């Protein structure tokens, strides 16, 4: 298979797999440019979830009857498939409700290692007063607030890597901020606002030299870029199903097997134990150690089908197509008077998204103007208030593409944005 970007004709064929895209909004053809928040689902993914309920619906890891065995096999095959998609082993992938829960799982597990009696292996995750957690100024709240809370619970200090005026990490500061007391370095693989793609391998090497564990928020990278966690060398990664063609309500935590097996559990209860007495319990190895209770079975199966869809299309080809769309977005928006594009400028590697500010018009008004023309975008602070504050804004408008986005849709957006300031009388 060629690694050249998708073509216009191929994208039009792909769109036939997404029924939701073939409708009108306010009498206009839908232009869906909000995949950075939630992607749409191809028919094969929806059919996979329905087929599970029609043919194999049963609790997993809990029964010996035929349906339970079939459900368990499908569930674990889905885990193996998704793990393979990111270059991991199947025992290194934990199902969660979303990426936010996955980060909280880590934070609370590390917190549990900091109190009470834990194994010698678990003590490596313990934090105490004087220890440090390093994040960045471009983080989504999901990769900031859990670490704030972990610092509060343990007495550790939270520090952050600032961004430059160009919307990139100030790499000169990273080595200075990493020190012998840094226990965790948590950062986004790619920014959901700026479109910046961070140098994960470089940052990971610097963190490991300082003895810190690396956690990456891969929500905006795994759906859009070829990602191999083993090649990147990270210790943990989180990502979500609903951003990569799968159903809502499911996410995943990748962790190196030896780390997951040493971590204290987060949620406890059924299906994650070896034995239980009235006084104590023993816990299964990962990933079951972190999967208490009834699991997200149909969602996991559908997510694996989504990953197969992306693999068959070709992740390098998807990334190439979205890079071209991102360049079209950034260059086109930059040419419109009164528009400020956030993040790296034209000609810089970035995701196929662009957040922008319209001079004199609030982002919510921009969003309503575009929605009236059938264009779906995201408005607000995109769960990144500190980043917007650094940029001198309270909100922005974000257009984000995916493998089913066409050049014509980007051109429709650009034409509409060029009319915003005049409509609101801000361009006079």
- For the chain, percent of residues with pLDDT exceeding 90: 95
Mean pLDDT of 181-197: 98
Q: What does pLDDT average to over the chain?
A: 96
pLDDT of residue 45: 98
- For the chain, percent of residues with pLDDT exceeding 70: 99
The answer to whether the beta carbons of residues 256 and 229 sit under 8 Å apart is no
Give 14's pLDDT tier (boundaries 50, 70, 90): very high
pLDDT of residue 2: 67
pLDDT surpassing 80 at residue 428: no
Mean pLDDT of 40-60: 97
- Where do the domains of the chain lie, and which CATH numbers do they carry? 8-32+314-420 (3.90.1150.10), 47-311 (3.40.640.10)
Q: Of 6-15, 100-109, 116-125, which range is least confident? A: 116-125
pLDDT surpassing 90 at residue 114: no
Mean pLDDT of 40-69: 95
pLDDT of residue 119: 84
Mean pLDDT of 175-200: 97
β-strand pairing of 182-188 with 213-217: parallel
The per-residue pLDDT for range 262-310, each reduced to its tens digit, is: 999 999 999 999 999 999 999 999 999 999 999 999 999 999 999 999 9
Does the annotation mark 383 as catalytic? Answer: yes
Give 63's pLDDT tier (boundaries 50, 70, 90): confident
The per-residue pLDDT for range 218-275, each reduced to its tens digit, is: 999 999 999 999 999 999 999 999 999 999 999 999 999 999 999 999 999 999 999 9
The per-residue pLDDT for range 330-371, each reduced to its tens digit, is: 999 999 999 999 999 988 999 999 999 999 999 999 999 999
Q: Which of 273, 383, 393, 426 is flagged as catalytic?
A: 383
pLDDT of residue 120: 84
The per-residue pLDDT for range 24-45, each reduced to its tens digit, is: 999 999 999 999 999 999 999 9
Separation of alpha carbons 93 and 209, rounded Å: 25
């Amino acid at each position: 298979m060629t690694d050249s970007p998708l073509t216009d004709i191929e994208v039009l064929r792909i769109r036939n797999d997404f029924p939701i895209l073939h409708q009108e909004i306010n009498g206009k053809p839908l232009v869906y440019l909000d995949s950075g928040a939630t992607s749409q689902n191809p028919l094969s993914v929806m059919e996979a979830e329905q087929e599970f309920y029609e043919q194999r619906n049963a609790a997993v890891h809990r029964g010996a009857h035929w349906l339970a065995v079939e459900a368990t096999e499908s569930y674990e095959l889905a885990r193996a498939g998704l793990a393979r998609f990111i270059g991991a082993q199947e025992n290194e992938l934990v199902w969660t409700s979303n990426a936010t829960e996955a980060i909280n799982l880590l934070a609370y597990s590390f917190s549990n290692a900091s109190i009470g009696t834990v194994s010698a292996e678990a003590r490596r995750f313990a934090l105490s007063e004087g220890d440090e957690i390093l994040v960045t100024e471009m983080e989504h709240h999901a990769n900031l607030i859990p670490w704030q809370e972990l610092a509060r619970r343990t007495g550790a200090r939270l520090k952050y890597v600032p961004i430059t005026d160009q919307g990139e990490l100030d790499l000169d500061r990273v080595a200075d901020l990493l020190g012998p007391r840094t226990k965790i370095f948590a950062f986004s693989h790619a920014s959901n606002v700026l479109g910046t793609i961070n140098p994960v391998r470089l940052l990971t090497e610097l963190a490991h030299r300082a003895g810190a564990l690396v956690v990456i928020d891969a929500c905006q990278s795994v759906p859009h870029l070829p990602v191999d966690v083993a090649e990147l060398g990270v210790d943990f990664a989180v990502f979500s199903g609903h951003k990569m063609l799968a159903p809502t309500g499911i996410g995943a935590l990748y962790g190196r097997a030896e780390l997951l097996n040493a971590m204290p559990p987060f949620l406890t209860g059924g299906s994650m134990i070896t034995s239980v007495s009235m006084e104590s319990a023993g816990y299964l190895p990962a990933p079951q150690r972190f999967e208490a209770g009834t699991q997200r079975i149909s969602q996991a199966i559908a997510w694996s089908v989504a990953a197969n869809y992306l693999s068959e299309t070709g992740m390098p080809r998807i990334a190439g197509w979205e890079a071209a769309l991102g360049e079209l977005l950034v260059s086109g928006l930059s040419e419109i008077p009164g528009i400020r594009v956030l993040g790296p400028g034209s000609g810089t590697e970035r995701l196929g998204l662009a957040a922008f500010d319209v001079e004199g018009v609030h982002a919510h008004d921009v969003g309503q103007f575009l929605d009236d023309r059938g264009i779906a975008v995201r408005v607000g602070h995109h769960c990144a208030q500190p980043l917007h504050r650094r940029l001198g804004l309270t909100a922005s408008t974000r257009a984000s593409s995916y493998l089913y986005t066409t050049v014509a849709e980007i051109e429709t957006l650009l034409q509409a944005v060029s009319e915003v300031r005049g409509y609101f009388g801000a361009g006079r």
